[in-house]
Amino acid sequence: MNILLEGIFYNGHGLAEGNRNLLRILDQAGYRVRIKVRDPSDKYKVLHPKEIDYISSFESNSLPTNDVYLYNWIGSFARINPDFRINIARTTFETDRIPDSWVQELNKFDEVWVQSRFNEMTFTSSGVKVPLHLIPNFFDYRGFSPEGPALSLPITESFKFLSVFDLKKRKGYDLLLQAFLNEFSQEDQTALVIKLRDSRQTDIIEQFIHSHPKAKRKRPGIYIIDHMLVPSDIASLYRACDAFVLPTRGEGWGRPFFEAMLMELPVIGTNWSGHTDFMNERNAYLVDIQGLVKISGNDNPICNGHYWAEPSIEDLQRKMRLVFDNRAEAKEKAKAAKQEISQMYNRRETAKKVIYEIEKYRR
């Protein structure tokens, strides 16, 4: 079975990391793979030279036969490749449905892979008729251990909440900032560490903080990391903090939640969408939602008219305070969470699912 794998591979996005891991799964299973790269300009930005050499070696591979075309990227650009015998699309979306423009194209594929039960439901209800298969996110556990160096941070507070996101309304950063500033003060000796992708987004955060009615002298510390980190520094950042929080309005999978749980951080997240596959009341702190709200004026217009969750600020404050006040209990829950997800979502089990779906076409 010869496979053409298309998507992003080189940048710091979770989809790129997923494709790197999927490439390794396919390669180690003995398939001959060529990759079609959607992010060539990012080739030398974040990865180690050895990783770059490994990935780029697949760009020029020749395929003796055109067996499987595997598209793993944004659904907006998904198109079948008629030169290949089998066409598989793997994509995700974070609202209560997928864009209408995706449906006709996805139905031209032989099958579609989704990351979560949430997407099984939203793709089906949107009109995707071809077979859907649940393949959890591709993840390399090796770099994510709570043991190891912690990133040095210029923070004096004794307790640090961490949040990792792109500055999009979907991520609920407005709710996070409001809840943190409402609930905590300088007397609590707690800080919120925000990891953004680039410095062009910091002004929005700073303006939101400045507009909060709490007096500046009483506000708890909020610290922004606004540049890309290499994978090893991401793990070190998790080690430097005490809990993870993200009141997202919708996720297809929720990669930062998963990473934080592997790092044995207590995790606070919204009780809706893709991450509830692996987050529950036993292993995390789920934030109630007020309901689903219609999206309008969104930074991504393709979402307008859809619905997503509106997390409760009051319950978010309660959950953050609960973790802050009950640190030993929260840490025990976090340790149990790592054991649970490591058993259910380890790379070997995910690789079995991938190989099974491909091999059925050989059979």
What tens digit of pLDDT does each residue of 74-110 get?
999 999 999 999 999 999 999 999 999 999 999 999 9
118 shares its domain with 150: no
Which residue ranges in the chain fall short of pLDDT 50? none
172 shares its domain with 131: no
Burial of 314 (0-12, 13-18, 19+ CB in 10 A): middle
- What pLDDT shows up at residue 363? 66
218 shares its domain with 240: yes
Q: How many CB atoms lie within 10 A of CB 200?
A: 10
118 shares its domain with 103: yes
As for how many domains the chain has, the answer is 2
Distance (Å, rounded) from C-alpha 196 to C-alpha 183?
23
217 shares its domain with 308: yes
104 shares its domain with 243: no
The CATH number of the domain where 126 resides is what?
Answer: 3.40.50.2000
127 shares its domain with 227: no
264 shares its domain with 128: no
215 shares its domain with 310: yes
- What pLDDT shows up at residue 141? 82
Distance (Å, rounded) from C-alpha 74 to C-alpha 303?
14
Instruction: Tell me the residue range of the domain where 320 lies.
Output: 143-343
Distance (Å, rounded) from C-alpha 152 to C-alpha 118?
37
237: DSSP letter: H
Residue burial 300-309, b: 16+ Cβ < 10 Å; e: rest: eebbeebbbb
What tens digit of pLDDT does each residue of 214-264 get?
999 999 999 999 987 877 899 999 999 999 999 999 999 999 999 999 999
Instruction: Using alpha carbons, list the distances in angstroms from residue 146 to 143, 208, 234.
Output: 9, 32, 12
169 shares its domain with 318: yes
185 shares its domain with 221: yes
90 shares its domain with 183: no
Phi, psi (deg, nearest 5) at residue 243 = -160, 160
Q: How many CB atoms lie within 10 A of CB 134?
A: 13
